[in-house]
Amino acid sequence: MRKVGSLEGLYTLRDSRGRPDRVTFEKRIDTTAGVYWVQRQHCHYRDKRTPLMGWDHTKTNGSQRTESTADSPSEERKSDQSLTFNDPLWPMQWELFTQGDYSSGGFDLNVMPVWRNNITGRDVVVSIIDDGVDHTNKDLKKNYEALASFDLRASHGLSHDPMPVRDEENSHGTRCAGEVAMEANNSYCGVGIAFNARIGGIRLLGSTVTDAMEATALTYNFHFIDIYVCSWGPRDNGAEMDGPHRLTEQALQLGTHKGR
């Protein structure tokens, strides 16, 4: 029997004996004194969210900011250009700051004024709930926070190491962690949007998950972690519709009312 994350009074029970008549077994539990709710956990799939491939960010039918940074930069935008980084992929990070050959006026997140006010993620703890985080990565190891990390797939024993399986299918969490907290000015790769934040990983994905597993991930060390990043969800195939189940809803409510 195991507690469901930080949710009070909720536990999962694994039937190690493999009883053939599970319905009867569940009814026995349901009628036990002090038990108010019983539900068999079912496995479901969660898909990782990835960028739209083949999209030309220089063209759009949507709205954008009124100024054209490519044609007539404002004084504020000019001052933004004084913030420089030696990371080789920084000039290509148009989503953070449009510049040079990769410019697409008005499409960046306008984060430079925030950075100029020394808001860079310092003292903020972020945990990536995903397929793991490679904390040995040169761009992540300085900002890695072990207390914001856990392995729900139990691949590394009691170490709670969120290290993913080293293949292309399980690099999504590490990529998300980099987008958040890549170290700046280390002459490597790019710059994270909160490059001074502490970053951890909760390894949840990699196979099917249950409602209890999602709830456990979303409440792990919730008095310490400020932000949980979940770049995944129900299968996005236009044929299925799903959302947070009962335990996950309670986890979200707990984080809203009592979290950081």
Report which residue type is found at 132.
G
pLDDT at 155: 58
> Which pTM was predicted?
0.84
For position 108, what pLDDT does the model report? Answer: 82
Cβ contacts of 74 within 8 Å, gap of 6 or more: 67
Q: Which of 95, 116, 137 lies at the terminal end of a domain, its last residue?
A: 116
Which pLDDT does position 68 carry in this prediction? 43
240 and 157, same structural domain? yes
Residue 246 forms part of a structural domain: yes
Domain identity same for 106 and 219: no
Both tokens assigned to 210: 């249950």
Are 87 and 147 members of one domain?
no
The answer to whether residue 179 is domain-embedded is yes
Place of tokens 């989503």: 95
CA-to-CA distance for 217 and 210, rounded, in angstroms?
11
DSSP 8-state symbol, 146: G
On whether both 127 and 82 belong to a single domain, the answer is: no
Single residue among 116, 144, 171 that ends a domain in this structure: 116
Task: Check which CATH number belongs to the domain holding 158 and give it.
Answer: 3.40.50.200
Count the domains in the chain: 2
Q: Both 175 and 224 in a single domain?
A: yes
* 152 and 246 both lie in a single domain: yes
Give 133's contacts (C-beta < 8 A, 6+ positions apart): 140, 144, 149, 162, 163, 164, 173, 174, 177, 199, 200, 201, 203
176 and 47 assigned to the same domain: yes
Contacts of 180 (CB under 8 A, 6+ apart): 121, 126, 128, 192, 193, 194, 197, 199, 229
Do residues 200 and 137 both lie within one domain?
Answer: yes
Residue 58, domain member (yes or no): no
| Per-residue pLDDT in tens (0 to 9) along the chain, 260 residues | 889 999 999 999 887 776 667 788 888 888 888 899 999 899 999 999 887 655 555 554 444 444 444 444 555 555 556 688 999 999 999 888 876 555 555 678 889 999 999 999 999 999 999 999 999 999 999 999 999 999 998 755 556 899 998 887 899 999 999 999 999 999 999 999 999 999 999 999 989 999 999 999 999 999 999 999 999 999 878 888 888 999 999 999 999 999 87
Q: Is residue 86 part of a domain?
A: yes
Q: What is the distance of C-alpha 94 from the center of its chain?
A: 21
Q: Are 126 and 175 in contact (CB under 8 A)?
A: no
pLDDT of residue 75: 58
Pairing outcome for strands 11-12 and 2-3: antiparallel
Asked, for residue 156, whether it belongs to a domain, the answer is yes
Whether residue 128 sits in one domain with residue 208:
yes
Enumerate helices (H) and strands (E) in the chain, giving the number of each.
Answer: 6, 8
Is residue 56 assigned to a domain?
no
Residues 125 and 145 in one domain: yes
* The pLDDT value given to residue 64: 44
> Is residue 245 located within the same domain as residue 125?
yes
Residue 77 is inside which H or E element, if any? helix 75-80
Does residue 211 sit within a domain?
Answer: yes
CA distance 12 to 10: 7
Domain residue limits at 177: 43-51+120-258
Asked whether residue 29 is assigned to any structural domain, the reply reads no
Rounded to whole angstroms, how far apart are CA atoms 159 and 54?
Answer: 40
Q: What is the pLDDT of residue 185?
A: 96
pLDDT at site 208:
93
* pLDDT for 21: 76
Both 159 and 97 in one domain: the answer is no
According to the model, what pLDDT value does residue 73 have?
55
Question: Domain boundary residue among 96, 116, 136?
Answer: 116
